[in-house]
Amino acid sequence: MVVARESEGQPVLIDRLRDRVGLAEGLRKDGGIEKKFKDRAIDCLERFGQRIAGIPAARVRAVGTATFRAAHGVSDFHAHAEKALGHRIEILGGREEARLIYLGVAHGLAGDGERRLVIDIGGASTECIIGVGFKSQVEESLKMGCVTFSREYFPEGHITKKAFNAATMEARRQLEPIANVLRNRGWEQAVGSSGTVHATAQILAQNGWGDGTITADGLGSLVDELVKQKSVDELDLSGLKDDRRKVLPGGIAIVKALFKELRLEELHTSPGALREGLLHDLLGRLHQEDVRTGSVVAFGARLGVDEAQASRVMSMATELFDVVQGVWDLSSEHRDLLLWAASLHAVGLSVSYSGYHHHGAYLVENADLTGFSKEDQRRVAELVHLHRRRFRMSYLERETEPWQLILRRLALLLRLGVALHRGRGAGEIERPSVSLGKTKENLKVTFSDGWLDAHPLTRADLELESDLAREAGFILSVG
């Protein structure tokens, strides 16, 4: 964990905490995570949570990466982890993780305008990114990491030439489909980040096989020495830290495969990585430069969304949101979800009018939307699905009960925004007054005298919404 303060628009590091959990080591083949690793993670998060207890939620980002992506049936653990930390923990998709890694690396290097290849080898995934300046252009994430490869190819810590060859060949097999794409883009500089790359460079330098830059010759010498020493428990290498010992062979095999498939001559190291990328991305959000909004707009434009209609629905839905926000315990985070869903509510029309809310939900959930965590993207998709026809509560089964309530409320606001603008700008739309009744789920929408009589289609739509809202537990009155 890193803690920073903002100075002249840049994050300045003021604290760093490191506690190796090794969650990937506890990932079972059935997708579960062994209890001792869960307990270790919770203990770590409780300690970290004490350090950031006084920081507002909007200024904290905590993320899970490859192990969380691969795990199954861990919703209870996820909830426990969030409680221990005291903050929400997002799950990043592979390409979003890659984008943030590149952002962190780029901010730690000189802005010389060169095209860079950035490589990051984590415990359960490897990211390869090409970009210029602070913007990534190609983002790839592969399901191979130093922990998973060490467990699979070097069980019990035994190191053999045969195991190294097998691990390297599997890594090359996974790299092959993306290697040509990366090489065709080209780069002037290759940079590596995170633990495996830094550990490799340090070991090479301290054992006389390099000068802080990783080379193919240095790797060859290191592999020969690892095979010679036979076991991770017996490794005697200058610069090798104890917490890196068990996962070193798998990581080195991946580095070697990267050199082979990408035809690298040397790999430099970078001080920045995912954590630094998250800091810079968070600063953007705090200063109204949220890349998520840009990616939503670009996605909608690519699929021909009617921007004027989307804007009308957004305006109405957020006006209603502002009225009920306090009583419904909604936050700015929830407002953003509503805005994005309103912007994309009709994106499914690019496929077909029939069932377009189904098509739209599928498109939103499965698109590469820059900046989004997997959960936020799924929740926007759920709102898109729920914006018309029956209020199918079964569509929210993947959410916890608190989130189901929040999404039900947001969906009702979106549905009202859509219903009030069904005419797509044809005629003047009156801004209704909104009030809450005896319970929080009792909502009354009131228009001026005679307005609904003059707009019978709108009255019919709202009366239908009133009937459908009962499925979601609301009492919607229109008058």
Can you tell me whether residue 27 is helix, strand or coil? strand
What secondary structure, in 3-state letters, does 264-332 show? Answer: CCEEEECCCCHHHHHHHHHHHHHCCCCHHHHHHHHHHHHCCCCHHHHHHHHHHHHHHHHHHCCCCCCCH
Looking at the fold, whether 215 and 362 belong to one and the same domain comes out as no
Task: Specify if 444 maps to a domain.
Answer: no
Q: Where is the domain boundary, 387, 405, 429?
A: 429
Q: Are 316 and 356 in contact (CB under 8 A)?
A: no
Mean pLDDT check: name the lowest of 54-63, 194-203, 417-426: 417-426
Q: Are 124 and 229 in contact (CB under 8 A)?
A: no
Looking at the fold, whether 30 and 53 belong to one and the same domain comes out as yes
CATH number of the domain encompassing residue 364 = 1.10.3210.10
Q: What confidence tier does 224 reach under pLDDT thresholds 50, 70, 90?
A: very high
Q: Are 230 and 305 in contact (CB under 8 A)?
A: no
pLDDT of 265 strictly over 80: yes
What's phi and psi for 71, nearest 5 deg?
Answer: -75, 150
> What's the domain count of the chain?
3
Q: 40-61, pLDDT tens digit by residue?
A: 999 999 999 999 999 999 999 9
Quote the pTM value: 0.87
pLDDT at 427: 59
Inter-CA distances, 431 with 166, 421, 474, Å: 67, 11, 21
Q: Where is the domain boundary, 278, 311, 343?
A: 278
Could you tell me which residues are beta bridge partners of residue 189?
Answer: 116
- Return the closest-CA partner of residue 408 out of 421, 395, 419: 395
pLDDT at 425: 66
Task: Specify if 458 maps to a domain.
Answer: no
Spell out where 187-245 has E strands. 189-193, 214-215
Q: Where is the domain boundary, 250, 278, 306?
A: 278
DSSP 396: G
d(CA 46, CA 144): 29
Q: What confidence tier does 437 reach under pLDDT thresholds 50, 70, 90?
A: confident
Strands 126-132 and 115-121, by their bridges, are antiparallel
Looking at the fold, whether 316 and 420 belong to one and the same domain comes out as yes
Could you tell me which residues are beta bridge partners of residue 434?
Answer: 445
pLDDT at 426: 55
For the residues 393-410, what does the mean pLDDT come to? 93
CATH number of the domain encompassing residue 66 = 3.30.420.40
Looking at the fold, whether 202 and 302 belong to one and the same domain comes out as no
